[in-house]
Homo-oligomer: A and B are copies of this chain.
Amino acid sequence: MNQSAPSLDTRAARIVALDTLDVRFPTSRELDGSDAMNPDPDYSAACVTLRTNHPDLCGHGFVFTIGRGNDVQKAALDALSEHVAGLSVDAVVNDLGGFARRLTGDSQLRWLGPEKGVMHMAIGAVVNAAWDLAARLAGKPLWRYIAELSPEEIVAAIDFRYLSDALTRDEALAILRAAVPHRQQRIEQLLAEGYPAYTTSPGWLGYSDEKMQRLAREAVADGFRTIKLKVGLDAADDVRRCRLARETVGPDIAIAIDANQRWDVPDAIAWLKQLIAFDIAWIEEPTSPDDILGHAAIRRAVAPMPISTGEHTHNRVMFKQLFQAGAVDLVQIDAARVGGVNENLAILLLAAKFGVRVFPHAGGVGLCELVQHLAMADFVAITGRKEDRAIEFVDHLHEHFIDPVVIREGRYIAPTAPGFSAEMKQTSLRDYAFPQGVAWQTDSGA
């Protein structure tokens, strides 16, 4: 599809179909994504396209999964078809809040969550596809499209239900309005400087010590100021790997660790006390993503080691409580877990109000492409902060995207093509479609 803004009369444009596709990459053959909870992921995407009656105008989104169950996600996307088919494109892009509430507010579908799991992720992907459509129509990359909406337009996109004890519409408006005078200067700054990245590439559990050290050295040489190691399978291994990593990168590079939900609360506390000596930047997902009080207990017990979670936090109500409980020092957001751009804007505003830094989750397939837009919109329109935070980066599977991320000197370069960078190449969609694509014909895969 044409990446430039379609120059067409969209007044009569309608969404004619919601197309879906099950796409899987056989990454488990290489162990590149191995961690303590996910030993053999096949990075996958349940893709959705909002197709219009204009051949050059589509909106793209996807749910990221790690293999089995991608077909269930596709079924959930298909179930939303009746809510979007026939809608006027203008009506959708001019009321993205109403569009999202049309999906999250379906009382029958809501029973399947509410606002969590398969159904909520499907809604998020369709909502993201609508934002992609809106940004393409406006001829802007999504980060800039959001950052140039009025504060009133942004809050209109947000569902404040269940948030008013922590963040009201008026408080959100005040945060957004305070940023308005700085927007233009921040846009220029972002285009000139990029946004800090950190890398998880050295740290997968399947790697040897030597490979980890080599990749850590390369990461520093490439300009990254933070690296992340996966932990949680064996405490002695983790002590050794953290020591080796610290020796390898020296005292000035931040080292984060990620347990991918491996521990119970008492185990997390005992394990992490052994790693305090290595000046850990943060411990990510020490326990169940649902365990708000557990994160708070761990944080109290291993202070000053910073605690974080968020990539599996399923909606804004859970983020609200993480902040209210003082359970985290920083959070991840994920572009394809919650109910789309709208809910992530709510989460970013909550984080801003509570003064919690955001280090977006990425990697997998396409998560870097998506989440960069949210972090950059946050910088311009919400917090004005970027040098005290960073977006995760994994150098993996970007070749399948039409508008892949660009990393230079350890920083994400701001995208300039219109849209949400979510569209995959037709050849990739064809070759990795599951199970019929050629990538799945050569052997049995998982």
A residues neighboring B (CB under 8 Å): 37-42, 65-69, 71-73, 75-76, 79, 106-121, 161-165, 261, 264-267, 287-294, 297, 312, 314-315, 317-318, 320-321, 324-325, 446
* CB <8 Å contact, A39 and B107: yes
Beyond A72-B118, A114-B261, A165-B265, 5 additional contacts (C-beta under 8 Å) are: A41-B108, A75-B75, A115-B290, A117-B118, A290-B315
Residues of B close to A113: CB separation below 8 A: 116-117
User: A79-B71, A113-B117, A163-B264 in contact; A107/B66 too (CB < 8 A)?
Assistant: yes
* CB <8 Å contact, B264 and A67: no
Other-chain contact of A162, B39, B109, B264 (Cβ < 8 Å): B264
CB distance from A148 to the nearest CB of B (A): 30
Residues of B close to A106: CB separation below 8 A: 68
* CB <8 Å contact, B66 and A293: no
Please report the C-alpha to C-alpha distance between residue A75 and residue B72 in the assembled complex, in whole angstroms: 6
Could you list 29 A-B pairs, sorted by A, with CB under 8 Å?
Answer: A38-B111, A41-B107, A42-B108, A66-B107, A67-B108, A68-B109, A69-B79, A69-B119, A72-B72, A72-B76, A72-B79, A72-B112, A72-B118, A73-B112, A112-B118, A113-B117, A114-B288, A115-B288, A116-B117, A117-B118, A117-B119, A118-B119, A162-B264, A163-B264, A164-B266, A165-B265, A291-B317, A291-B320, A293-B325
Other-chain contact of A321, B164, B293, B312 (Cβ < 8 Å): B293
Residues of B close to A292: CB separation below 8 A: 292-293, 321
Please report the C-alpha to C-alpha distance between residue A315 and residue B288 in the assembled complex, in whole angstroms: 11
Residues of B close to A109: CB separation below 8 A: 68-69
* CB <8 Å contact, B108 and A65: yes
* CB <8 Å contact, A111 and B66: yes
User: A38-B107, A165-B264, A265-B164 in contact; A76/B118 too (CB < 8 A)?
Assistant: yes
Please report the C-alpha to C-alpha distance between residue A161 and residue B232 in the assembled complex, in whole angstroms: 14
* CB <8 Å contact, B72 and A266: no
The 8 closest A-B pairs by CB, nearest first: A117-B117, A118-B118, A75-B75, A67-B108, A68-B108, A165-B265, A290-B317, A162-B288
Please report the C-alpha to C-alpha distance between residue A104 and residue B103 in the assembled complex, in whole angstroms: 28
* CB <8 Å contact, B325 and A65: no
CB distance from A277 to the nearest CB of B (A): 25
Residues of B close to A264: CB separation below 8 A: 161-165
* CB <8 Å contact, A110 and B37: yes
Residues of B close to A161: CB separation below 8 A: 264, 288
Please report the C-alpha to C-alpha distance between residue A297 and residue B68 in the assembled complex, in whole angstroms: 40
Interface centre among A72, A110, A162, A297 (most CB of B within 10 A): A72
Please report the C-alpha to C-alpha distance between residue A312 and residue B111 in the assembled complex, in whole angstroms: 8
* CB <8 Å contact, B165 and A116: no
* CB <8 Å contact, B112 and A121: yes
Residues of B close to A165: CB separation below 8 A: 264-266, 294, 297
CB distance from A336 to the nearest CB of B (A): 11
Other-chain contact of A324, B163, B290, B293 (Cβ < 8 Å): B293
Residue of B nearest to A119 (CB): B118
* CB <8 Å contact, B66 and A116: no
